[in-house]
Structure 1
Amino acid sequence: MTTPTTERRRFARIHFDGDCMFYSDTVKAPLKINDISFKGVLAESEHLPELKVDDKGLLIIQLDSGETRIEMPVTVNHLTARCIAFQAGTMELESIAYLRRLVELNLGDPSLLERELENLVAQE
C-alpha cells in the first residue's frame, strides 16, 4: 500500500554517499549528499552555510577522481538545522547524462528509469 507522500513523489530519491561543493556569489561550502534525483539534491553539513530559501547557486558533484562531475544549478528549496534541500535547475547535456547513468545504475530497472524520464519531460 502506498502512502500519500509516495503517491505524490514523481522522482525516486537515490541514496548517494558523496561530497559536493556549493557555490554562489557569496558562499563556497563543502556538503555531504544524502540523496539525489532528477529534480534535486538533499545535502547536509555540521556547519551549514548561511543560506535562505530561494537562494541560487551551483552544486559540483565529483563522481570520480578525474573530470567526471555533475554541475547542477540549484535553488534552495528547504532548510533544517543540518540539511539543505536543493531544487535542480536546467543542466548542461553532459551533466544530465552523468545523472541519468547514476540513476539508471541505482534503480536497476529500465522501466523505472523510463518513468523517471517521462516525468521529467512532463514537468518541463
Structure 2
Amino acid sequence: MTRIQDPEKRRFHRISFEGSAYVSFDGGAETQVDLLDLSLHGALIRTTGMEAQPAPQQRCTLRVPLTQDLAISMETRVARVEGEETGLVVDRLDLDSAQHLKRLVELNLGDETLLNRDLAALFRRE
C-alpha cells in the first residue's frame, strides 16, 4: 500500500515521525502504538497487536511523548482504518500541545510559508 498523495491536494503537510505514542479509545486504558506521521490536522498510527480495531468516528486521546516531561496530547477521532493503520483527525488540542506541535512541524517543514499555509487551513476548517 502506498501513502504517497499529491501534496497540492493536501491542506496540511505531514511530517514523518517514527516512534511510539499512546492512544486511549473512549476513555479506556492507554495502549502503545507506532506513530507514523503527524500534522496540525491529525496523525497516522499503526495499531499492531490491538485486540479490537477502532471504528470510524470513534473518539480517542493520542499522547505523543517528546521528552520525559513533555508530550503532545490531542483529542481525536478515527477518520479511517486500513488494516493496522488508523488515521486520526484532531478535534481538540490544548495550548501547550498546540505550541509543541506547531514547533515540531515548523522544524520539520523548514519553510515558514508552508507552516503559515497549514495554519491558515486549520483556521478555515473551524
TM-score, scaled to structure 1: 0.89
Contact 1:27–1:49 (CA under 8 A) maintained in structure 2: no
User: How far 1:23 sits from its partner (Å)?
Assistant: 1.1
Match of 2:64 among 61, 64, 68: 61
Over aligned residues, Cα RMSD in angstroms?
Answer: 1.5
Match of 2:80 among 78, 81, 86: 78
User: How far 1:55 sits from its partner (Å)?
Assistant: 0.6
Separation in structure 2 between the aligned mates of residue 83 and residue 49 of structure 1, nearest angstrom: 14
% identity of equivalent residues: 29
Unaligned runs of 5+ in 1: none
Contact 1:77–1:86 (CA under 8 A) maintained in structure 2: yes
Deviations 1:72-115 (CA, angstroms, capped at 9, x unpaired): 10101111221111111121110000000000000001111111
Contact 2:7–2:13 (CA under 8 A) maintained in structure 1: no
Q: Kindly tell me: are residues 77 and 102 of structure 1, through their superposed partners in 2, closer, same or farther at Cα, counting changes over 3 Å?
A: same
Unaligned runs of 5+ in 2: none
Separation in structure 2 between the aligned mates of residue 49 and residue 105 of structure 1, nearest angstrom: 36
The one-letter code matched in structure 2 to 1:8 is K
1:118 corresponds to? 120
Separation in structure 2 between the aligned mates of residue 96 and residue 85 of structure 1, nearest angstrom: 19
Query: Normalized per residue, which structure has more helix?
Result: 1
User: How far 1:49 sits from its partner (Å)?
Assistant: 4.7
SS in 2 for 1:12: coil
1:12 corresponds to? 13
Separation in structure 2 between the aligned mates of residue 54 and residue 101 of structure 1, nearest angstrom: 28
1:93 corresponds to? 95
Across the two proteins, how many residue pairs are aligned to each other? 120
TM-score, scaled to structure 2: 0.88
The one-letter code matched in structure 2 to 1:17 is E
Deviations 1:12-54 (CA, angstroms, capped at 9, x unpaired): 0100012111113345311111000011000003213522111
Separation in structure 1 between the aligned mates of residue 80 and residue 51 of structure 2, nearest angstrom: 13
